[in-house]
Structure 1
Amino acid sequence: MEFAGGWDSVAVLVGDRVERRPRRPDVEPQLRREVRLMPWLAPRLPMPVPVPELVSDDPLVVRHVLVPGEPTGGVDPAHGRALGAFLRALHATPPAGAAPLGVAPADRAGALDRDTAQVVPLLPAAVRARAGALLDAVRDLPADAVVHGDVGPEHVLADDTGLTGVIDFGDAHLGDPALDLAWALHGTARPFADAVAESYGVTGEQRARALLWHRLGPWHEVTHAFDTGTSPAEGLAAVLDRLSP
C-alpha cells in the first residue's frame, strides 16, 4: 500500500514497516539526515516518532516501524496538551548534540529571496507591501533550537486513545521554535490551541512569531508548485487569505 500525498518521499507499507524512497535527488540528504538523527532524538521525546534504518544505499531506501493513527483534526484539547508537551521536549534537545548529525540552520535568506523574486510579483499590487513586510519580519527571527520544521495535521497522528506520534522529520533543522507552533496556535480550534499554549508555556512573543510563520506557510506551496510544474493557484489563494488584515 502506498501512502498518498508525500511531497518528498514515496512511502509504502511493507508488513509493519514504512519503506521510503526519495522522489527527487535533492531529497536524499534529508533521508540520510533522518537516519543519523532519529536514533539520537527519539529517546528524548515523549511520543513515538519514526526511526528509519538504511535498507539500500543505491538506490536509497529506508524503513521504519509504522507509527499508527490518523491525522489529528486540531480540535481535541487532550491532543493539544500532548502536542505542547512534545514540542517543549523537542525544542529542549541540545543543538550541540544534533549538529554533528547534520542538523543545521536552514537557508532562510535564500528561501526569502526566492519568495521575493517568484511569489511577490504574482500578488495584487495592493498587498505587495504587506507581503514584503512579512518577509522582512521573519528574516532575523531566532534559529537556535532543534525544530521539526513542518508540524501540521498530516504529521501529528491520533487515534481514539489520544495522540499516537509525530512523523516526517525530513525538514528538521536549527530554527525558530515558533515555527513548530504556527499551525498549532493559529490553524486549529481555540480549545486545542489554548491547550498547546498552556502545556508548552507559550509566551506572548512566541505567539506573535508563530503568527508570522503561519502567514508565511502557504508561500512554500507556491514555490513547490514551480518546482513540480503544477499550478500555484491554490497556494496563491492561501497566501492572499493569510495576508488579509
Structure 2
Amino acid sequence: MEFSGGWDSRAVLVDGHWVERSPRSPEAAGSLRREAVLMPWLAPRLPLPVPVPEIVGADPLVVRHELVPGEPLDESGEASESIGRLLGLFLRALHGVPVDEAVRHGLQPAAEARREHEDLLDRFRAEVVPLLPADYRTAASALLATASGLPFDTVVHGDLGPEHVLTDGASPTGVIDFGDAHAGDPAIDLAWALNGAAPPFARAVAAAYRPSGGDLDRALTWHRLGPWHEVLHGIDTGTPAYVRSGLDGVLGRLTGGCAAS
C-alpha cells in the first residue's frame, strides 16, 4: 500500500509493519541518507516514538523503518489539550539535544541550512512576490527581510504539522518525517502548533513549551512563510492549482494573527 504522496519521497507499507521510502529527486536522496544516520542516535533522546530508518537498497535508494502506529492528529478533538501538552514537552526535548553532537551524527549543519534558506528567500522574492497584488508586495518584502535574520542554532524537525503528529485519539503515539531536520530556528517547529492549530491545542503546547516573546514572533514569521513553499511547488511541478492555493495562503497569512497569544 502506498501512502498519500509526499513532495520529496514515496512511502509504501510492506507486510503491514514496515514503511519503505524512496526519493523523488537527488536532493531528497541526500535527506533520506541523513535520516538513516541521524535517527538511530536521536530516537533514544526523545520522549515519543519516531521513525528509525535504515538503508536497505542503494541503487535505487530505499530506506526502511518500522511503522509508527497512529493516525494524523486532529487538534480539535476532545483530547487536544493533553496531546498539545505532550507535544510541547516533546519539542522541548528535541530542541534541548546538543546541536554539535547531532551534527556529528548526521544532522544538516547550520551553515548549509542557512544557505539553503537564503537561496529559498531569493526565489520567493524573484518568483512569488511579483505574483502578488501590488498593494501586498511591501508587506511581503518586509516579511522576507525579517525571515533572513532568523537563528540557526538548534536541532529542529523542520516540517512539523498535524500530518506528522500521530495519535491514538487520546495521546500522541509518535512524530514522523524528519527529512527536513537540521540545525535551525526552534520557532520553525512552533509555527503551525502556535498559529495554525486549534486555540486550545495551541495554548497547551505553549504552556508546556514556554516560548519566549522572541520565539512567538519568529514562529509567526515561519507560519506566514508556509504557503510560499506551496507556490514554488506549483511553479516547479507545473500545477496551477498549487500556485493559486499557495497565493491565497500567502495573502491570508500576511494579515493573520497568532493563535496562542
TM-score by length of 1: 0.97
Q: For the residues of structure 1 that align with 2:72 and 2:251, how far apart are their CA atoms?
A: 26
1:187 and 2:196 matched: yes
Q: Percent same amino acid at aligned positions?
A: 61
Q: For the residues of structure 2 that align with 1:93 and 1:222, how far apart are their CA atoms?
A: 33
Contact 1:56 1:62 in 2 (8 A): yes
Q: For the residues of structure 2 that align with 1:145 and 1:26, how far apart are their CA atoms?
A: 22
Structure 1 position 155, deviation (Å):
0.5
Q: Kindly provide the amino acid, as one letter, of the partner of residue 235 in structure 2.
A: F
> Among 156, 159, 165, which residue is 2:168 paired with?
159
1:196 and 2:197 matched: no
2:259 equivalent in structure 1: none
Structure 1 position 5, deviation (Å):
3.1
> Among 118, 121, 124, which residue is 1:112 paired with?
121
Structure 1 position 102, deviation (Å):
4.0
> Among 92, 95, 101, which residue is 1:91 paired with?
95
Q: For the residues of structure 2 that align with 1:85 and 1:164, how far apart are their CA atoms?
A: 14
1:241 equivalent in structure 2: 252
> 1:11-62 deviations in whole A, cap 9, x for unaligned?
0100201000111222100000000000011000000000001101111001
Q: Secondary structure at the match of 1:68?
A: coil
Structure 1 position 161, deviation (Å):
3.4
1:56 equivalent in structure 2: 57
Q: For the residues of structure 1 that align with 2:164 and 2:189, how far apart are their CA atoms?
A: 12
Q: Kindly provide the amino acid, as one letter, of the partner of residue 238 in structure 2.
A: G
Q: Kindly provide the amino acid, as one letter, of the partner of residue 183 in structure 1.
A: W
Q: Kindly provide the amino acid, as one letter, of the partner of residue 181 in structure 1.
A: L
Which runs of 4 or more aligned residues in structure 1 lie more than 3 Å from their structure 2 counterparts after TM superposition?
A: none
Q: Secondary structure at the match of 2:122?
A: helix
1:70 equivalent in structure 2: 71
Structure 1 unmatched ranges of 5 or more: none
1:42 equivalent in structure 2: 43
> 1:193-218 deviations in whole A, cap 9, x for unaligned?
11101111112221111011101111
Q: How many residues were matched structurally?
A: 245
- RMSD between superposed Cα atoms in Å: 1.0
Q: For the residues of structure 2 that align with 1:49 and 1:195, how far apart are their CA atoms?
A: 21
TM-score by length of 2: 0.92
Q: For the residues of structure 2 that align with 1:160 and 1:216, how far apart are their CA atoms?
A: 30
2:108 equivalent in structure 1: 103
Q: For the residues of structure 1 that align with 2:53 and 2:227, how far apart are their CA atoms?
A: 28
1:211 equivalent in structure 2: 220
1:127 equivalent in structure 2: 136
1:80 equivalent in structure 2: 84
Contact 1:74 1:189 in 2 (8 A): yes
Q: Secondary structure at the match of 2:167?
A: strand
Contact 2:5 2:11 in 1 (8 A): no
Q: After the TM superposition, which of the residue ranges 32-41 and 229-238 deviates more from structure 2?
A: 229-238
Q: Kindly provide the amino acid, as one letter, of the partner of residue 63 in structure 2.
A: V
Structure 1 position 103, deviation (Å):
1.9
1:14 equivalent in structure 2: 14
> 1:78-137 deviations in whole A, cap 9, x for unaligned?
110011011100000111111121421312111111100010000000000000000011
